[in-house]
Each structure stands twice: as C-alpha cells, then as structure tokens.
Structure 1
Amino acid sequence: MEQTKLGSFIEACINTAIGFLVTLALTPVVYPLFGHAFTLSQNLGISAIFTVVSIARGYVIRRWANARIRRAAYRLARAQRPTGHKES
C-alpha cells in the first residue's frame, strides 16, 4: 500500500516531535559538557530551527523511499506475469 503525501507529512511530524522533546530534555545536560550554556529561550530557538529542517528531511526521505518501493513492486509484478500475457 502506498503512503499518501499527507501520511508522509504526518509521520515526519510525529517522528520529529518525539525528537524535539528528547532534544529539549538532553540539551541542558549535553551542551554544558561541551562548554556551552544556553537559556531556555535560546534552546527553544535552536531546537525550532533543527525541527523545521528535520520535518523537511523526514518528508523528503519518506517520499523518496515510497517511490522506490512502488517501482520495485511494479517491476516484481511485471516479472511474475506469465509469458504471453497482454495487459488490458
């Protein structure tokens, strides 16, 4: 079954939202380990930028993968057709 563009977008958003929450939780621990400290406002701004990029990345990858799977299924179906079979 092919995933719709809306389904791809929703999947990318849910995946990224989970990542956003994990990032917000880890940032106060990880950044200081590398000598950086950010305010909550700065952390939210930085995370928002990466979140937008992540949603776009997830959507593009999902659509690309979906197209590849569909082409592979089509090729497989054509290969499984008995010889001499004509398309209607």
Structure 2
Amino acid sequence: MTAQSRLDSFMEALTNTLIGLIVSTIANFFVIPLVLGVHMTHGQNIVLALIFTVISIARSYILRRAFNGRSVWLSVKLGASFYWMLARSKRYRFL
C-alpha cells in the first residue's frame, strides 16, 4: 500500500468536510431552535457551519497526515501523550 500524498490527504479531508458542511447546515437549521430555543437566520447558520467546517478540515488533514506513513499505534501513543501533557498543565485543568 502506498502512502497518500499531502494533496490527496487534503482533498479527502476537504471532500469529507464539505459533505459534513451541507449536513450540518441543514441539521443546525432544525436542531438549534429545538434544543437551545435560539432562532438563527440562514446567514448566521451558514457562518456557524463555515467556522466549524474550517476547524474540521484542519483536524481531518492533521489526523490523516499523522496516521499516514506511521503505524496506528504510534499515532495513538502520540495523541495520548499530547492529551496527558495538556491534562497535567495548570492552564488546562478542565481535561
């Protein structure tokens, strides 16, 4: 099995996230008023979905690159080490 290129990783993350953008925009239109009682305009709904979309693209790309070319176990260990480091930090006591 050959490793994905950075462009392929980015395109996969982008495609996955754009589909998520469509689904979340539609879901937010119905869920936020029902659960939170907050009524948002279509523009506000789209801006909120776009913010989370940018975050999701970055997350997907970083995770894909972390797992690509490395064993899954090494990537999990690195993630656990990072989480442990944050949890021990006084600044991130909520973890």
Which TM-score bucket, shorter chain as reference?
0.7 to 0.9
Divergent runs of 4+, >4 A:
none
Unaligned runs of at least 5 residues, structure 1: 73-88
Q: Hey, what's the Cα distance between the residues in 1 that align with 2:38 and 2:11?
A: 33
What is the CA-CA distance between 1:27 and the residue it aligns to?
Answer: 1.1
Q: Give the CA deviation at 1:25.
A: 1.2
| Structure 2 CA distance for aligned equivalents of residues 15 and 56 of structure 1 | 12
| Higher RCO by CA contacts (8 Å cutoff, separation 6 or greater) | 1
Percent identity of equivalent pairs: 44
1:18-75: CA deviation from partner (whole Å, max 9, x where unpaired): 10000111111100112111100101111111111100000000000103239x8xxx
Aligned length: 71
Q: Distance in 2 between matches of 1:23 and 1:64?
A: 26
Paired residue secondary structure (2:56): helix
What is the CA RMSD across the aligned residues, in angstroms?
A: 1.6
Q: Distance in 2 between matches of 1:21 and 1:3?
A: 26
Q: TM-score, normalised by structure 1?
A: 0.75
C-alpha distance in structure 1 between counterparts of 2:57 and 2:43, whole Å: 21
Q: Map 1:71-82; keep pairs closer than 5 Å.
A: none
Normalising by structure 2, report the TM-score.
0.70
